Amino acid sequence: MTGGGDLPVHNVLLVACGSFNPVTNMHLRMFELARDALTRTGRFRVLGGLVSPVSDAYSQVAQLEGLAAVNHRLEMIRLALQPPSREGPAAWVRLARWEARLADWTPTRRVLDHYQAVMDCGPVQQGAEVHAGATAGASAATAAAAGAATDDYRWLTGLLRRLRLKDPLTVAHPMLLCGSDMLKSFAVPGLWTNDDLVKILRDYGLIVITKPSCNPQQIIFENDLLNTYEQNIALVTEWTVNELSSAFVRRALRRRESVRYLLPDPVIEYIYRNALYQSTAERPRLVRWLVLSLYC
């Protein structure tokens, strides 16, 4: 497939990795901004999007307190991604459970490698790839997590199969979707391995949703590695001033402040119902207050 001026069109799968603790409207808005920006260039066809939350093991690696259990985070994302109605636009962003179900923390590069392997394999070979970890010495939990996530790939492998029936040479790759904070982290010495950064920037590419207050061009200019692969970094500015973050939401919940319109309503209901992001001592007393505040 070629675009304007006979330039090749890249088939990409947008993948956002993070804790999503909790998922916010801005997390989801990033996908829409990214797809619009890539489509406008005429050089990309966005096959879909994946939200890939980290496993519970991340809290130990990052020494992070307050990370909700993975089953809660998965359910909140599932609720957030539900289309508003059957008459509305078809859902194109989906929940990816593979990373979340692993027993160990998984570097972002490995997550992208995994989805590249899924995209390279057909629906038949994919099953072998998913379960290959068991014969390669992987833990039983890892193999089980991969097997449980197989259904997450059916839509993707089915789509690629249809594209390859039209053009057997069709190729596709994941593309990392992130905010400016992750771009800044690439420049922090020792935080990312050089091999991982090279693999991500060279083979997968990066689309960064930035804010007017951020200067991503300066970050890229001042870092030799980012500068080397600048052509593989797409920058999209969100001009609607919005400093929304999961940390902001958690702080508001601790202070019993409203988070309405910051998160999808089903996610708010789930948080209140399960009394998430409150101290243990406050939970029994707060559950009723939070539920009443939502419906009254």
Beta strands in the chain (DSSP E): 10-18, 44-53, 93-95, 172-179, 206-210, 233-237
Task: Say which residues have a Cβ less than 8 Å from residue 120's Cβ, sequence separation at least 6.
Answer: none
Q: Evaluate whether 123 touches 100 at the Cβ level (below 8 Å).
A: no
Copy the structure tokens of residue 187.
């420049």
Helix axes 265-274, 70-80, angle to 10 degrees: 150
Q: Average pLDDT of the chain?
A: 83
Report the DSSP pairing between strands 44-53 and 93-95.
parallel
What pLDDT is recorded for position 60?
Answer: 79
**pLDDT computed for residue 212 by the predictor:** 76
d(CA 67, CA 74): 12
Residues of the chain with pLDDT under 70: 1-6, 63, 84-90, 122-151, 241-242, 279-296
Residue 71, classified by CB atoms within 10 Å of its CB into exposed (0-12), middle (13-18) or buried (19+), is: exposed
pLDDT of residue 128: 38
Distance, in Å, from the CA atom of 151 to the CA atom of 159, rounded to the nearest integer, reads: 14
pLDDT of residue 211: 80
The answer to whether 251 and 26 have CB atoms below 8 angstroms apart is no
Q: Which domains does the chain have, with CATH numbers?
A: 10-123+148-242 (3.40.50.620)
The pTM (predicted TM-score) of the whole model is 0.82
pLDDT tens string 214-227: 899 999 999 999 99
CB atoms within 10 A of CB 138: 17
| 102-to-30, 144, 239, 269, 294 alpha-carbon distances in Å | 25, 9, 37, 27, 34
**Long-range contacts, 283-286 (Cβ 8 Å, 24+):** 286/256
What is the per-residue burial (b if ≥16 Cβ within 10 Å, else e) of 200-222? bbeebbbbbbbbeebebeebbee
Check: CB of residue 36 under 8 Å from CB of residue 82. no
> Which pLDDT belongs to residue 278?
85
| Number of CB atoms found within 10 A of residue 165's CB | 9
Asked whether the beta carbons of 15 and 152 are under 8 A apart, the reply is no
- Candidates 200, 210, 199; CA nearest to 37 is 210
For residue 224, count other CB atoms closer than 10 A to its CB: 8
